[in-house]
């Protein structure tokens, strides 16, 4: 099923929902931040009025009459007959929704347990609490069983969501039961639990009355977009009639290129890999690269020497002197001394925390922050004494930019406004901070004073992310999705003044790394950028539709029912 122009789907996250009868597909167009409905019979696609600024994947009511979604921090519902959207109420940061036949909606938390609210409105109530003895840091992706006895969900214990525990919670007793290790799961009316690991869907027989699995999982559908190293979701949906719709995982090989200020492209000799982020060393002689595995569930740091055209693996794990072993995640920031990196790592029960590691491996890693948290390194201060970072696990509706002192390990909030703030970038003199924020309902780039955060001004005008400063501090570059690299003149004396942004080059470049960080970097002399260019399709513009998929599930994983 081909999507209209401008409806390309992201390589991570969840965006679609199929009506229970299998006739209507509702999906989110991320660039438009709008919901659309496709009639699978006629092939017609229409915009759903009232779904503007949608933030998450939609979900259906059990009777297929309503579609629920979250926009601007509010839970809403709209009827597909054109009645428009109805506010249900304010909700905290969330991950996943399920609408029960009793009129209650269960949703997962960004850094909390499950919560429940009436579809008619009201105050959300706590349904589950995190178990610190199991190292849990959130309960996500609920799926209410059709008999109303319980809800399936993912208990997240590390940054790699394939390690999550899929459990079922009994509404009557509050008892929790472990089912499988996976990132995401759904109950199928065939009597199976369908769950996702890496890029594959598995099926295992599930007794809905006893709420337990029987046997081992069998692969039933490969090649699905699964965000094992992202939010943990899987981009598939199925209906009661056996129709399956999913977003196929693309070929994700990428290459490194240098792009000058006129848009001229020079490919580097480094082999195609799943590059996620690149950073120049302070002397401009080499790059620090974040590289993902085949499915993006595992990450490693590589070094690329530009003159010698030599690529070397630095590390994929962080082992503390205590013996605790952390899997490297997808963030990186080069220290001004050029000898040290800030990275993030994960271990069961630890979330994602920050470390300082030596580029040559000559010393033990230094832990900069402590759990809980889902933290991503941003940028070092010019003197190397502070690291700015994002913490994705804040329980409030905001996710601000923080900093940690290398000397004292003390932390403070640097930017604390509504919405989600990402990609901090400091000017060379440490006086000015640029970042992106969703506080307006659309992601835009802002600049403010670093230490006081006063005198803030918006830089982008039609959306933007991933700012980076020119070395002289007179230009701020940022990426505008659907367009390319933008440049805005910045004057800081006698007061802050921002010029009109202009486009300097376009291309199918990965502006963001996997961990809410900037994917590209500017050379120390300001003459060029290192960019990550996709070698596959420029966007995911097709959903795959499989009719009578349950027949294949039953053939591959027969039940005893």
- For 163-214, the pLDDT digits (tens) are 788 999 999 999 999 999 888 999 999 999 999 987 889 999 999 999 999 9
Residues 93 and 47 placed together within one structural domain of the fold: yes
Is it the case that residue 479 has pLDDT exceeding 90?
yes
Residue 294 binned pLDDT confidence (cut-offs 50, 70, 90)? low
Residues 296 and 336 placed together within one structural domain of the fold: yes
Q: Mean pLDDT, to the nearest integer, of 4-8?
A: 81
Residues 261 and 241 placed together within one structural domain of the fold: no
Omega of the bond leading into 494 within 30 degrees of 0 (cis): yes
Residue 476, C-beta contacts closer than 8 angstroms, at least 6 positions apart: 425, 434, 445, 447, 459, 467, 468, 469, 470, 487, 488, 490, 498
Share of the chain above pLDDT 70, in %: 93
Q: Mean pLDDT, to the nearest integer, of 430-457?
A: 87
In a domain, 10, yes or no: no
Q: What is the pLDDT of residue 398?
A: 45
Q: Mean pLDDT, to the nearest integer, of 62-71?
A: 93
Q: For residue range 506-560, what is the model confidence (pLDDT) as tens digits?
A: 988 888 765 567 999 999 999 999 999 987 655 678 899 999 999 999 988 898 6
CA quadruple 57, 62, 67, 68: dihedral sign: negative
Q: For residue range 25-65, what is the model confidence (pLDDT) as tens digits?
A: 999 987 778 899 999 999 899 999 988 888 888 999 999 99
In a domain, 4, yes or no: no
Looking at residue 148, which CATH number applies to its domain? 2.130.10.10
Q: What is the pLDDT of residue 278?
A: 96
Is it the case that residue 229 has pLDDT exceeding 70?
no
Residues 147 and 29 placed together within one structural domain of the fold: yes
Q: Mean pLDDT, to the nearest integer, of 126-139?
A: 86
In a domain, 303, yes or no: yes
Residues 469 and 544 placed together within one structural domain of the fold: no
Residues 375 and 237 placed together within one structural domain of the fold: no
Q: Mean pLDDT, to the nearest integer, of 280-297?
A: 82
Residues 514 and 544 placed together within one structural domain of the fold: no
Is it the case that residue 260 has pLDDT exceeding 80?
yes
Residues 279 and 178 placed together within one structural domain of the fold: no
Is it the case that residue 293 has pLDDT exceeding 70?
no
Cα gap 107→289, rounded to integer Å: 36
Residues 288 and 154 placed together within one structural domain of the fold: no
How far, CA to CA in Å, does 387 sit from each of 391, 401, 420?
Answer: 12, 10, 18
Q: What is the pLDDT of residue 391?
A: 81
Domain containing 61: what range?
16-250+540-556
Q: Mean pLDDT, to the nearest integer, of 145-162?
A: 86
Helix (H, G, I), strand (E, B) or coil at 553: helix
Residues 353 and 406 placed together within one structural domain of the fold: yes
In a domain, 3, yes or no: no
Residues 431 and 334 placed together within one structural domain of the fold: yes
Q: What is the pLDDT of residue 397?
A: 42
Residues 238 and 374 placed together within one structural domain of the fold: no
Q: What is the pLDDT of residue 561?
A: 47
Tell me whether residue 227 is exposed, middle or buried, using C-beta atoms within 10 angstroms of its C-beta: 0 to 12, 13 to 18, 19 or more: buried
In a domain, 424, yes or no: yes
Per the prediction, the chain carries an average pLDDT of 88
Q: Mean pLDDT, to the nearest integer, of 345-363?
A: 82
Is it the case that residue 137 has pLDDT exceeding 90?
no
In a domain, 160, yes or no: yes
Is it the case that residue 95 has pLDDT exceeding 80?
yes
Q: What is the pLDDT of residue 306?
A: 96
Which of 106-115, 257-266, 436-445 is the most confident on average? 257-266
Q: Mean pLDDT, to the nearest integer, of 15-24?
A: 94
Looking at residue 480, which CATH number applies to its domain? 2.120.10.30
Number of structural domains in the chain: 2
Q: What is the pLDDT of residue 81?
A: 81
Phi first, then psi, for residue 507 (nearest 5°) are: 160, 165
Cα gap 68→464, rounded to integer Å: 27
């Amino acid at each position: 099923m081909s999507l209209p122009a401008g409806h390309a789907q992201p390589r991570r996250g969840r965006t679609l929902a199929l009506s229970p009868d299998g006739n209507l597909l509702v999906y989110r167009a991320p660039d438009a931040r709008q919901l659309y409905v496709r009639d699978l019979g006629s092939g017609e696609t229409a915009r759903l009025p009232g779904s503007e600024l949608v933030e998450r994947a939609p979900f259906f009511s059990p009777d297929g009459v309503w579609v629920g979604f979250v926009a601007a921090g509010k839970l809403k519902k709209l009827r597909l007959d054109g009645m428009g959207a109805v506010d249900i109420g304010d909700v905290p940061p969330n991950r996943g929704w399920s609408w029960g036949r009793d009129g209650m909606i269960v949703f997962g938390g960004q850094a909390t347990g499950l919560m429940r609210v009436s579809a008619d409105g009201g105050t959300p109530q706590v349904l589950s609490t995190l178990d610190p003895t199991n190292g849990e840091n959130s309960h996500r992706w609920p799926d209410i069983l059709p008999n109303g006895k319980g809800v399936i969900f993912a208990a997240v214990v590390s940054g790699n969501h394939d390690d999550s525990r899929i459990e079922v919670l009994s509404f009557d007793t509050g008892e929790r039961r472990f089912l499988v290790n996976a990132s995401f799961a759904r109950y199928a009316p065939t009597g199976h639990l369908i769950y996702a690991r890496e890029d594959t869907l598995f099926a295992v027989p599930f007794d809905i009355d006893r709420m337990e699995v029987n046997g081992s999982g069998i692969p039933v559908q490969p090649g699905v977009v699964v965000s094992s190293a992202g939010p943990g979701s899987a981009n598939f949906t199925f209906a009661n009639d056996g129709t399956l719709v999913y977003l196929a995982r693309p070929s994700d090989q990428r290459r490194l290129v240098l792009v000058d200020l006129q848009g001229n492209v020079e490919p580097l000799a480094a082999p195609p890999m799943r590059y996620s982020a690149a950073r120049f060393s302070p002397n401009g002689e080499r790059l620090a690269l974040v590289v993902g595995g085949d499915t993006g569930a595992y990450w490693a740091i590589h070094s690329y020497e530009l003159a010698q055209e030599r690529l070397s693996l630095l590390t994929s794990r962080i082992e503390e002197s205590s013996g605790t072993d952390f899997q490297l995640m997808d963030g990186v920031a080069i220290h001004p001394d050029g000898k040290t990196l800030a990275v993030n790592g994960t271990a069961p029960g630890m979330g994602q925390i920050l470390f300082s590691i030596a580029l040559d491996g000559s010393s033990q890693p230094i832990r900069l922050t402590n759990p809980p948290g889902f933290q991503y390194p941003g940028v070092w201060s010019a003197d190397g004494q502070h690291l700015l970072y994002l913490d994705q696990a804040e329980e409030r509706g905001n996710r601000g930019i923080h900093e940690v002192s290398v000397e004292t390990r003390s932390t403070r909030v640097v930017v604390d406004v509504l919405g989600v703030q990402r990609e901090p970038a400091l000017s060379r003199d440490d006086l000015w901070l640029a970042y992106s924020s969703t506080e307006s309902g659309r992601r835009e780039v802002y600049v403010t004073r670093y230490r006081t955060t006063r005198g803030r001004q918006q830089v982008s005008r039609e959306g933007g992310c991933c700012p980076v400063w020119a070395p002289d501090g007179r230009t701020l570059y940022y990426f505008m999705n659907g367009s390319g690299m933008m440049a805005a003149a910045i004057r800081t004396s006698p007061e802050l003044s921002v010029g009109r942004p202009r486009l300097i080059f376009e291309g199918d470049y990965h502006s963001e790394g996997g961990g809410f960080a900037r994917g590209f970097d500017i050379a120390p002399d300001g003459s060029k950028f290192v960019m990550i260019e996709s070698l596959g399709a420029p966007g995911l513009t097709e959903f795959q539709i499989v009719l009578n998929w349950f027949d294949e599930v039953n053939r591959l994983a027969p039940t005893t029912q």
